[in-house]
Amino acid sequence: MASVIQSVIKNLRELELSDNILKGSLCSLLSVVLSSPKLEKLRLNRNPGAAEISKVLVTALVSNLCYLRELELSYTNFGDSEMEIISTGLMSETCMLQVLSLSHNKLTEKGCETLASALSSDTWHLRELDLSYNDLQDAGVMALCCALKTSHCDLETIRLSFCKVRGDGCASLASAMRSDHCSIKDLDLSFNHLTDQGVQLLSEIQRDSRCSLEKLKYD
């Protein structure tokens, strides 16, 4: 597989290596793949060994040879410790990542605090973030909201389905949306424990022409 990819690496734009198809050879192949000058989309869903994968990704992201724009790491048991590892790469001046999916994982409030720190850095280019099906709860969402208020955060889409968000999380999001620097246009809060008051706060912001929010989902 590595030799095949090396033969087409100059033209490789999108690659999916999900479902553990390479087993123990994944990380060694990634080192080759991530040096592709045109690779923009990489899907690594349902692979074990999130810590080792994160270390390989960091090495690539801090180099000036990686042009990755979209990364999927869903269903990988990616947790707070992995977020600590990969955040170094995400805050690198050479990192050009715009879309990051970490759904169906094991992130908690601690991981959100690490992510919020990265989102607040002036080197971050992320536009779309999917954290659905993680145990974030209100505390995790409140940590993310601190980043949404900063001038360096350019997030436009954030997905938080099945994250156990309640009233306090809604209130914190509403406060962030009313800040001058928040650029969120698409917010997914479906399948959470939202209160009527929380939904009302966010719905009012969606109707407010001074705020950027255009799409709101809270089934």
What does the pLDDT look like over 175-194, one tens digit per residue?
A: 999 998 899 999 999 999 99
For position 82, what pLDDT does the model report?
A: 98
Where does residue 143 rank: exposed (0-12), middle (13-18), buried (19+ CB within 10 A)?
buried
Q: Where do the domains of the chain lie, and which CATH numbers do they carry?
A: 42-217 (3.80.10.10)
Question: Looking at residues 7-18, what average pLDDT do you find?
Answer: 87
| Percent share of the chain, pLDDT over 90 | 75
Residue 9 pLDDT more than 80?
A: no
pTM of the model: 0.95
Q: Residue 204: which H helix or E strand, with range?
A: helix 196-207
Cβ–Cβ < 8 Å for 44, 73: yes
Question: Looking at residues 99-114, what average pLDDT do you find?
Answer: 98
Q: What is the pLDDT of residues 128-145, one digit of tens each?
A: 999 999 999 999 999 999
Closest CA to 100 of 55, 139, 157: 157
Question: Looking at residues 201-213, what average pLDDT do you find?
Answer: 92
Read off the amino acid at residue 195: T
Q: What is the pLDDT of residues 31-79, one digit of tens each?
A: 888 988 889 999 999 999 999 999 999 999 998 888 999 999 999 999 9
